[in-house]
Amino acid sequence: MRVIAGKYKGRVLKGPKHEGLRPTADRVKEALFNILGARIQNADLLDLFAGTGAVGIEALSRGANSVVFADMNQLSIKLIHANLNIVKPEESFRVLHGPAERTIAILANQKMSFDLIFLDPPFADRDLPGIIISKIVHCGLLKIDGILTVEHSRKLLIQTLDLTCFLTRNYGDINLSFFRK
């Protein structure tokens, strides 16, 4: 795992050492950022189910203003901190430990909102993406012109009444689906 582009390009990040963590592959991460393009510049990003933190770190490297990393697994939180120590970002970042629903509530109570939200929930829970998207929208975390991206199994069709899916790209067994209001 490495930072693909930007000011931290080439830095090698630590990979998962614990069971159940499926980091975003470099080619999927590169495709994600190619699609988002210039929207990364000065964006505030929420990396929910952050795992290794690689997506949020890539965003910081490419010019994001700030990133909130969130994960409920303590080992993932340690890994995110280790990877942040590798790049030592100058940009604003925050790491939150806890379930996604609690993280959303905390951020909503603090009146935070994001230009970009990236979700990479466990593939085994097929209902989770729709539930999380609904909570994000109802708590006002996605800015009016924001984009929410979900990395999910190719076999899963994400249905939500809260946002419109405007693009889905397939990378083997992985899909990236992009949503907006």
Nearest to 35 by CA among 116, 154, 106, 130: 116
Question: Domains along the chain?
Answer: 26-180 (3.40.50.150)
d(CA 152, CA 158): 9
- pLDDT value for 103: 97
Give the pLDDT band (50/70/90) at residue 159.
confident
pLDDT tens for 60-77 read 999 999 999 999 999 999
pLDDT tens for 92-139 read 999 999 999 999 999 999 999 999 999 999 887 888 999 999 999 999
| Mean of the per-residue pLDDT values of the chain | 93
Give exposure, 1-27, as e/b (b: 16+ Cβ within 10 Å): bebbbbebeebebbebeeeebebbeee
- pLDDT value for 18: 64
Half-sphere exposure at residue 119, Cβ-oriented, CA atoms within 13 angstroms? 30
Overall average pLDDT of the 6-20 stretch? 85
Which residue's entry shows tokens 């998962």? 16
Return all residues near 109 (Cβ < 8 A) that are at least 6 apart: none
Share of the chain above pLDDT 70, in %: 97
- pLDDT value for 15: 87
- pLDDT value for 82: 97
